[in-house]
């Protein structure tokens, strides 16, 4: 990594974020594929997409590679991840980014469009407690056009299956430990590297001032998400993909 933003290898940072996330979720690409399959199935190959809590723009990257005529608005509050996203997509007129706090009631007023064909989010909304998440779902129902979709891919815990949950977690963490021993970067390792980079050091420090080490939200069940989305104004909801730990819930407006 070089000492100027213009010379920074943003692709390398994007790829290193993907590898770090895959340490936690080795099936991450599969959930993205299914999400884009359902975007195409429901709203077609030229969607206007809201990439919610976009991070470095992982969803947008895959969206535009698969659907070159798509457009995307990425929304996040994290200054370091947004710096990578903006650097990586610099000059691409199909993409815009908005710095916004999803807990702020007025965040939707910052968006460049009043409606979207699809809202996509992955491994992000578990940072929110159920109260703010319920409010957010209501706001998103107002942004998704009739016939459009929202998809949330995230940790969704069924508290009625504690033994299955414990077995899955133990198995997953054993695999993560093996990968870590082989050299994989975990969350802390990745952020340590970002904090030492001349370009990312300042936004990384700002990021930790905003969030602290980690935000503790909730991980309600898929059934909770589906019920809350229906109560928020979506007409149909169902899972369209699941792993032992995560689920993609689709809500149709």
Question: What one-character DSSP code corresponds to residue 115?
Answer: -
Per-residue pLDDT at 2: 39
Distances (CA, A) of 70 to 32, 39, 132, 159, 192: 16, 11, 29, 38, 34
Give me the phi and psi of 234, to 5 degrees please. Answer: -85, 145
Given this model, what pLDDT does residue 213 score? 75
Residue 116 has φ and ψ, to the nearest 5°, of -135, 150
Q: What is the pLDDT of residue 5?
A: 62
Give the pLDDT confidence score for residue 217 in this predicted structure: 82
- What's the CA gap between 125 and 218, in Å, rounded? 9
pLDDT of residue 21: 95
What pLDDT is stored for residue 7 in this prediction? 72
CA dist 24 and 26 (Å) reads 6
CA distance 180 to 188: 12
111 SS3 class: coil
Q: What is the pLDDT of residue 3?
A: 43
Between CA 162 and CA 126 the distance in angstroms is 19
The pLDDT tens digits of the residues spanning 24-82 come to: 999 999 999 999 999 999 999 999 999 999 999 999 999 999 999 999 999 999 999 99
For residue 78, the model assigns a pLDDT of: 97
Q: With the C-alpha atoms ordered 194, 196, 199, 202, is the resulting torsion angle positive or negative? A: positive
User: Per-residue pLDDT for the chain (253 aa), expressed as one digit of tens each?
Assistant: 334 565 799 999 999 999 999 999 999 999 999 999 999 999 999 999 999 999 999 999 999 999 999 999 999 999 999 999 999 999 999 999 999 999 999 999 999 999 999 999 999 999 999 999 999 999 999 999 999 999 999 999 999 999 999 999 999 999 999 999 999 999 999 999 999 999 999 999 999 999 987 667 889 999 999 999 999 999 999 999 999 999 999 999 9
pTM of the model: 0.94
- pLDDT for 150: 98
Q: What is the pLDDT of residue 212?
A: 85
- In this structure, the strands spanning 246-252 and 116-122 are unpaired
């Amino acid at each position: 990594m070089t000492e100027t933003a213009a010379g920074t290898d943003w692709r390398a940072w994007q790829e290193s974020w993907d590898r770090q996330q895959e340490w936690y979720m080795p099936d991450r690409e599969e959930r993205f594929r299914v999400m884009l399959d359902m975007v195409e199935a429901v709203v077609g190959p030229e969607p206007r997409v809201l990439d919610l809590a976009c991070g470095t723009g992982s969803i947008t990257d895959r969206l535009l590679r698969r659907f070159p005529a798509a457009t995307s608005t990425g929304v996040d509050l994290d200054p370091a991840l947004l710096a990578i996203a903006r650097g990586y997509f610099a000059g691409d007129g199909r993409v815009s980014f908005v710095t916004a706090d999803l807990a702020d009631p007025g965040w939707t007023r910052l968006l460049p469009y009043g409606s979207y064909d699809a809202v996509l989010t992955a491994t992000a909304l578990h940072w929110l407690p159920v109260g703010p998440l319920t409010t957010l779902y209501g706001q998103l129902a107002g942004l998704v056009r009739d016939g459009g979709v929202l998809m949330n891919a995230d940790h969704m815990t069924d508290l009625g299956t504690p033994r299955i949950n414990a077995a899955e977690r133990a198995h997953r963490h054993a695999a993560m430990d093996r990968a870590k021993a082989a050299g994989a970067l975990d969350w802390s390792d990745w952020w340590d590297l970002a904090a030492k980079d001349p370009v990312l050091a300042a936004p990384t420090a700002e990021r930790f001032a905003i969030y602290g080490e980690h935000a503790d939200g909730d991980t309600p069940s898929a059934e909770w998400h589906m019920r809350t989305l229906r109560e928020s104004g979506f007409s149909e909801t169902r899972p369209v993909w699941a792993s032992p730990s995560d689920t993609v819930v689709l809500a149709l407006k």
